[in-house]
Structure formats: structure tokens, C-alpha cells
Structure 1
Amino acid sequence: MREVIVYESMFGTTEELARAVAEGLGAADVVPVDTAPHDLAGHDLLVVGAPTHVHGLSRPATRKAAAEQTPEGTRTHEPGMREWLATFQILPPGLDTAVFETRLAKPRWLTGSAARAVAKVLRRLGHAPVVPPASFFVETAGSKTRLVEGERARARAWGASLAAARRTRPGRA
């Protein structure tokens, strides 16, 4: 099996969770969106991880604002997840997909959801996520963003549950 996790991360939390999901899956390539492949032939799982910005996927303006918040700059650069996903007209047949997001630990109606936006794009491309999108929570402390305690372990468990769900799908060995 060839599995890839493509993530967008401004401050490192989505990247950290992508690596935890990979641990839970057992094996997966973990790739930042700015170097992600544009041809997914040969892959059988695409996991997309993105931060929620202004109620959805980041845009150039929100990425610029994030970059201005930290002297180190952001972890990923252009293109963002929205633009990377827009490059696809079709995804390979038989490709399973899954989605996770990072967002503030508040009700979704207040924060919005990058995961819902990604899942919608994947459904339009004919590849609905095989498990419900997952939300992992971050908090801010001054100018720093960090994972809420326990979220890394929860991401690892979500990755393991994704692997189990794929094994039990009809037509899978």
C-alpha cells in the first residue's frame, strides 16, 4: 500500500498531527502541501490535513497574516491546500481519502471548518472520505499556537482507526 498525508501548517501543529496520524496508520509518506505530488497514481490513500482559517481553508491573505505573526515564518508556503486541491480534475480510481483539521477548541459554528471544505472538494472529485473528518484542537498562548493536551495521542488513535476502517471495507484484503 502507498499512503500519503499532505498537510498545510502555519505554526507546526497540523504538521505534528500529520506525523501522529502516520504513526497510527503504521506507515505513510508525510508531505507538506508546497511540495506535494500533483500525480497521485500509485497511491491508495490520501489523507489531507489543514488548519482552519477564517471559517475554512486558508487563503493567500490568511497565510500572509499567519506569516506576520511569527518571526520564523510559516512551516508551509504557497501553494496552500485550497490551491493544491484545485489542481485536480480527477483522482485515481480506488483512492481512499480521509481529512483532518486543526482549529480552535470552540464550537464549529464559531470556528468554521477546513475539514468540511476539503471533504466537499474530495466528494466532488468522486472520493468521499472513508471515515468522518476529524477535528483536532489548538489553543493560543500569547502569540504561540499549540496543541491542546492529548490531541497528538488522539490523532495517532484516529490514524489507527482509519487503518482499521480501510481493512474492513468491502473489496479490501
Structure 2
Amino acid sequence: MNTLVVYESMWGNTKAVAEAVARGVGEGVTLVGVAEAPTPVPEGIDLLVVGGPTHAFSLTRASTRRDAIAKGAAANPAAPGIREWLEQLPTSSHLNIATFDTRVGSVRHLPGSAAKAAGKEVRHHHLGRLVETMSFYVNDMSGPLLDGEAERAHAWGQSLAGMRAAHGQGPTQLGGSDQR
């Protein structure tokens, strides 16, 4: 299995989740920030894992990234976000895609998430088969991750790898949950 994990991170929390997911998936994983993510997805990748922070109940936009930077986030204001990167990808019928986000734990029951919005982009642009979505939680806007979230991300990565192995060609059903 060849997996590409692409993340967008403002405060480092989403990057930490992406790293844990990549470790959980195991061998054959390439981990890149969205600014370095290839377009198109290279041949031979059969699982794409995409994650970003939830801003204003969705994926980041240029305006929400500027707001985060104004509040102290260490991000490049000119860099593209997950939304823009997904919009550049060509259609695909063979790619399995899992999405995740980071969200503030104290408002975890509010509607909207970057993972769900990324899933909508995947379906809208016919980028592949959405196989799972997951949310991971931070203490507040700048983090840190809540206790146990890095371990949960690692376990989710293992689950993605396990579903892939069990189905041969990859997971075929949406199986994720935004609940802890």
C-alpha cells in the first residue's frame, strides 16, 4: 500500500495528528505539508489522507488563515490550504481518500468540520472514493492536542491500514465518526 498524507497546520496540532496517522499506517507512507503536496497525486498512491484545521465550521480560507496568523499562528500567508489543493486535483476513480480535521474540544458538538468539508470537495470534484472522516480535538485555538488524541490518531492510521489490507483494494464504506 502506498499512502500520501497531506496536511495543513497553523499551530502544529494538525501536523502532529498527521504524523501520528502516518506512523499508524506504517510502511509506504509519504507525509507532506499542503504547500509541498504534489498535483496531481502521484501514480501508485492508493490511499490519500488529507487533514486540516477547522476554521469557521469548514476548511480554511485565505481570510481565516490571515486571522489565525494575526492571532499568532506560524503559517505562511501565501501558502495554499487544503481547499485550494483539492480544487487543483484531477478526477480519479481509483483513489481511496480519508479526511481528518482538528477542532476545539470545548465546541466539538457544533456543526461543520474541515474533515466533512474536505469530504464534500472529494465528492464534488470526483477525486476518488471517500472512505472515512475523523475529527481530533485540541484544547483551544492554538492547542495543545487534548490528552490521548495523538494516540487516537495513531490508532486511526492503523485502522486505515487494516481496512486496506482486509479489503485488498482498499476500504469501501464510510466508516469514520466525528465522535470520540
Conserved? CA contact 2:8–2:51, under 8 Å: yes
Of 54, 57, 64 in structure 2, the residue corresponding to residue 52 of structure 1 is: 54
Deviation by residue 1:139-167 (Cα, 9 ceiling, x = unmatched): 12xx7421001000000000000111111
Q: Whole-Å Cα distance in 2 between the matches of residues 25 and 63 of structure 1?
A: 29
When the two structures are superposed, what TM-score results if normalisation uses the length of structure 1?
0.88
Aligned-partner Cα distance in 1 for 2:121–2:142:
30
For 2:32, the aligned partner's letter is: V
Q: From 135, 141, 163, give the equivalent of 2:161.
A: 163
Could you tell me whether the CA contact under 8 Å between 2:66 and 2:77 is conserved in 1?
A: no
CA shift for structure 1 position 120: 1.1
Shift of 1:134: 0.6
Partner of 2:151: 153
User: Does the residue aligned with 1:130 lie in a helix, a strand or coil?
Assistant: strand
Equivalent residue letter for 1:158: W
Note if contact 2:65-2:77 (Cα within 8 Å) is conserved in structure 1.
no
Cα distance in 2, alignment partners of residues 137 and 171 from structure 1: 30
> Structure 2: where are the runs of 5+ without partners?
171-180
Mapped pair 1:19 → 2:19: yes
For 1:134, the equivalent position in structure 2 comes to 134
Mapped contact 1:130–1:166 kept (Cα < 8 A): no
On the 8 A contact 1:119/1:128 being kept in 2, the answer is: no
Query: Retained in 2: the 8 A contact 1:33–1:76?
Result: no
Distance 1:111 1:138, change over 3 A: farther
Instruction: Specify the alignment match of 2:34 in structure 1.
Output: 33
Counterpart secondary structure, 2:143? strand
Shift of 1:75: 6.8
1:94 is paired with a residue whose SS is coil
Change (3 A) 1:53 1:7: same
The answer on 1:2 being equivalent to 2:8 is no
The answer to whether the 8 A contact 1:7-1:18 is kept is yes
Q: Note closer, same or farther for the CA distance 1:48–1:144 as it changes in structure 2 (3 Å cut).
A: closer
2:48 is matched by which residue type in structure 1? Answer: L
Look up the equivalent residue of 1:24 and give its one-letter code: G
Q: Which residue of 2 aligns with 1:120?
A: 120
Q: What amino acid sits opposite 1:120 in the alignment?
A: K
* Mapping of residues 90-105 of structure 1, within 5 Å: 90-91=91-92, 93-105=93-105
What stretches of structure 1 of length at least 5 have no aligned partner? none
Percent identity for Structure 1 against Structure 2? 41
The code of the aligned residue for 1:123 comes to: R
Aligned length: 167
